[in-house]
Amino acid sequence: MTETTRPADGTNLAGLEPAREPLPSGLDRIAAAFATARAEGRAALMPYYTVGFPDLATSEAVIQAIAGAGADLIELGIPFSDPIADGPTIQYSTNAALQAGASVARCFETAAHLRANGLMQPFLAMGYYNPILAYGPERFAADAAKAGIDGFIVPDLPLEESEQLAAAARLQQQALAFLLAPTSPPERVAAVASHSTGFVYLVSVTGVTGARRSLPTDLAEFVGRVRAVTDTPIAVGFGISTPGQAERAAKLADGVIVGSALINAVRAGSNAPDAAAAFVRSLGERLSSTGEVSPESAG
């Protein structure tokens, strides 16, 4: 990358190289992660963590720790000042990360460092479209690929306005996973499912991210509606906060996404990487897709 592609915040990405060459494509790596979990009779565990929380060095150590604790895919949260889909926990973490100097470019640097340290799990960059648009969608996808990022989740990017980023992701063989809400009508479910690559992100509840006391009783019906129109893996997120809830979601979906509860565990612990690893292990122990749902997870 030349100096002309230096990000607006001044961070120099020149010389950023993938840790391993040649690498499978991002789409291939994501598909392989889901296939491995499926072969082991379980759902894929997909933690979300905000890059830069509480600072860049600690967030890198936390992500390293959750990778070692059993994460199958990892969502790297790109901080943004107006996270409209996020509840108070992730809003807090993103604000702290921005104050600590996090930016799109520094998120890419963190991903590249993690790849250089040997992390193999697929990375999904989750963030809002304004920073992507400011960075330039084509350059964003290219720099993300160079840093070892395999795909994207953009909560505020509707399908109808996604073609520029979708085309950039296709060029880099990266995923672009769209979100579906439980209120989505059948035609919307079919359209989003047919365009989502890597997986389809099912929002388990209406509203913003954050821990919930229980999962909705109609989650199975929602997953079934989506499953009926696509073979693409289905991941469930928003509101999953306990091992029991993760277990219940894992009986229905191909992947389980947990974010706010992980950040809460880090905030409550005296050692961020250890607290994160312990929490992720507690989730992973329950992610079997076979057998009966335990009484704890049924609520």
Give, for all 299 residues of the chain, the pLDDT tens digit: 433 344 444 455 555 554 445 568 999 999 999 999 999 999 999 999 999 999 999 999 999 999 999 999 999 999 998 877 677 899 999 999 999 999 999 999 999 999 999 999 999 999 999 999 999 999 999 999 999 999 999 999 999 999 999 999 999 999 999 999 999 999 999 999 999 999 999 998 754 443 445 566 789 999 999 999 999 999 999 889 889 999 999 999 999 999 999 999 999 999 999 999 999 999 999 886 444 444 444 44
Domains along the sequence of the chain with CATH: 22-287 (3.20.20.70)
> 125 - beta bridge partners?
76, 152
Residue 86 a catalytic site member: yes
Tell me how far apart the alpha carbons of residues 107 and 110 are, in angstroms, rounded to a whole number.
5
What the block records as the tokens of 83 is: 């996270």
- What does each C-alpha distance from 114 to 56, 66, 264, 276, 293 come to in angstroms? 12, 12, 23, 16, 35
- Residue 75 is among the residues annotated as catalytic for this protein: yes
What tokens were used for 287?
A: 């992610």
Facing residues of 42 across strands? 288
Rounded Cα distance, 65 and 216, in Å: 31
∠ CA 109-112-117, nearest 5°, is 125
Given 3, 9, 21, 86, the catalytic residue? 86
Whole-model pTM: value is 0.87
Check 75, 109, 150, 254 and give the catalytic one.
75
